[in-house]
A and B are shown apart, each in its own frame.
Chain A
Amino acid sequence: MRLLNSLQKRRTILACLVIGTCALAPIAAGILDQPYYINLFSRLMIWAIAAISLNLILGYGGMISFGHSLYLGIGAYTVGIFAYYDIYNFYLQLVTAIAVAAFIALIFGGISLRTRGVYFIMITMALTQMVYFLSISIEEYGSDDGLIIYDRSDFGTNLISMDNPIQRYYLIFLVMIACLYFSHRLIRSRFGYVIRGTKSNETRMEVLGYSTFRYRLVCFVIAGVMCALGGVLSANVEKFVSPDIMHWTRSGELIFMVVLGGMASILGPVTGALVFWLLSEFFSRITEHWHLIFGPFLILVVLLSPRGIDGLLSIKRSGNE
């Protein structure tokens, strides 16, 4: 019981630290006179949103999707392509992005969820690469040079504007918090228990009376839609979208963030995104070939703590506890 309490305490401290950092970053950027940090943290939180969504299927559902960046791409390209035709209405962009992401996730999930293990990993990756090459081949939308977005999404009101970096920042922050809270509710709900149970023992769940395929598919679609929200926000931060956003290495980075932060922990993906970025900054300052150190380092973390940073929190401090 004592161990549990101290774990709870440490989790709360870490949560305050991570959320607090995100909440206060623009203020710190103002004091330090480094406006650059605002966009940097905006990007970070978009990664976090994508990682939170991946955690739903990867961490809680055991579905190792190696193609999750596709949905970032769908969100960003929806904004980009609308902007290409001079349509900037945020709500139209948002609804379209959600609908397209849900539709694609339904089809791709329907195909890939019929497989398990390595096959699932390969199929999700292949399907995403397919769309990646499609985006490269369409010259109308910039092919591999990408698509420049001349104006950000328009809310149709003067109260809030995507062009104001602070307002944009806190909008992203709110979306991230909403995604965190939704995940928190979801995994404790009936649906969440079915998803987690299926990861734990699928045969048992089938015999209990759950058609596991349907539940997994719904979860896959939810994760895709949530990730697409990140894509919509990303297009508004960058004013640019290119096929790079859905390259398979991006999907790999998302997986690393989830694993690093701690699979199946609510806050894990956010911590993971933050630490992932800090580490890549740190290592890239040491050497140009920083991936050479970064890779083995990540492997080491996973080996030492399979449950990532969240797993480290439950380690007993020797002596005084």
Chain B
Amino acid sequence: MGCLVSRGLAMNNVLLRITDLNKSFGGVCATDHVSLDVERGEIHALIGPNGAGKTTMISQISGILPSDSGEIEFDGTPISHMKAPARSLMGIARSFQITSILREFTCQENVALAIQAHFGHSYNMWRPVSSEEKIQDRAVEVLESIGMGELRDTTSADLAHGEQRQLELAIALAMDPKLLILDEPLAGMGRMDSVKIVDFLKGLKRKFTILVIEHDMDAVFTLADRISVMVYGRLIASGTPDEIRADAMVRSAYLGVD
């Protein structure tokens, strides 16, 4: 398997290394002895049927869910014992499958808050954030890069669904992460919006290391450098898009269903 090949590579090429990761809920193994490497600069797609444990695994990576056992190493540092905020400050950003934005805040405030977290401490109780030009300029820049410049003053709860998904992405990008984890960025998006986002993600290639969960196979095969397939909590294959397309096990377990 491609997975075995990549584990032989020098560590400094690997940004995220997961070794023998486990998580079960009651009797259900959501993550079952998963080992996975994400290399610097690649777009790594994680695919698999619903309930395969993909979201569980990235929640373990981002630190929202504690793992039962196993090691997670990020940028050469073991992070298994760290809580979510510490991992975020190390450079792991994630978006959520179910949109997780601050609904009362405007788009710009949402993005600014993501930038602020990585911009020194936040115990200043006197100076208005709106007057911190470094933060606000960067927020506008991020929103414009994703084509939401004109929506900056719109309260995020008032956005259309597709726009909220875009904002979710903008928030993750604003953190300027070393690793960008995207949980179904295209979920619930119309065709037009999907094409726009896929184009946008293409533009991020090589600038960010991306681990993405996605069900849209066209998007996955267009974007990904490597693909890992997860079924019932296990990683059954990992390789280039061509290898995955050719893999008999994957075809029967997943792709063949289509």
Contact = CB atoms under 8 A, between A and B. Distances in A.
Given A208-B113, A210-B85, A197 B124 contact: no
A75 interface: no
A115 B103 CA distance: 23
A212 B116 CA distance: 14
B126 A185 contact: yes
B62 A207 contact: yes
Contacts of B132: 190
Contacts of B118: 209
Interface stretch (A172-180, A198-206, A287-295): A198-206
Contacts of A190: 116, 122-125, 127, 129, 132
A248 to B, nearest CB: 30
Interface in A201-248: 201, 203-212, 215, 218, 222
User: Could you say which interface size class chain A belongs to?
Assistant: 20 to 34
Contacts of B117: 208-210
Contacts of A194: 113, 116, 122
B101 interface: yes
Contact of A211 (B83, B105, B112): B83
Contacts of A201: 100-103
A274 B129 CA distance: 32
A287 B189 CA distance: 60
B84 interface: yes
A263 to B, nearest CB: 12
Interface string B55-87: 000000011100000000000000000011110
Contacts of A192: 125, 129
A6 interface: no
A204 B127 CA distance: 24
Contacts of B93: 207
A209 B83 contact: no
Contacts of A210: 85, 117, 122
A205 B89 CA distance: 12
B: interface residue count bin: 35 or more
Contacts of B94: 207
B128 A204 contact: no
B102 A197 contact: yes
Contact of B114 (A189, A191, A208, A215): A208
A196 interface: yes
A282 interface: no
B209 interface: no
B130 to A, nearest CB: 7
A193 B129 contact: yes
B88 interface: yes
A105 B101 CA distance: 31
Nearest to A183: B125
A66 B153 CA distance: 36
A206 B64 contact: yes
A207 B109 CA distance: 16
B20 interface: no
B45 interface: no
Contact of B175 (A185, A208, A215): A208
A209 B127 contact: no
A189 B127 CA distance: 5
B100 A203 contact: yes
A206 B126 contact: no
Contacts of A29: none
B104 interface: yes
A200 B127 contact: no
Interface string B124-141: 111111101000000000
B104 A185 contact: no
Contacts of B64: 203, 206-207
30 contacts: A185-B125, A185-B126, A185-B128, A190-B123, A190-B124, A190-B132, A191-B122, A192-B125, A194-B116, A196-B104, A200-B102, A201-B100, A201-B101, A201-B102, A204-B101, A206-B84, A206-B88, A207-B64, A207-B85, A208-B88, A208-B117, A208-B175, A209-B85, A209-B88, A210-B85, A210-B117, A211-B85, A211-B86, A215-B123, A222-B125
Interface of A: 182, 185-186, 188-194, 196-197, 200-201, 203-212, 215, 218, 222
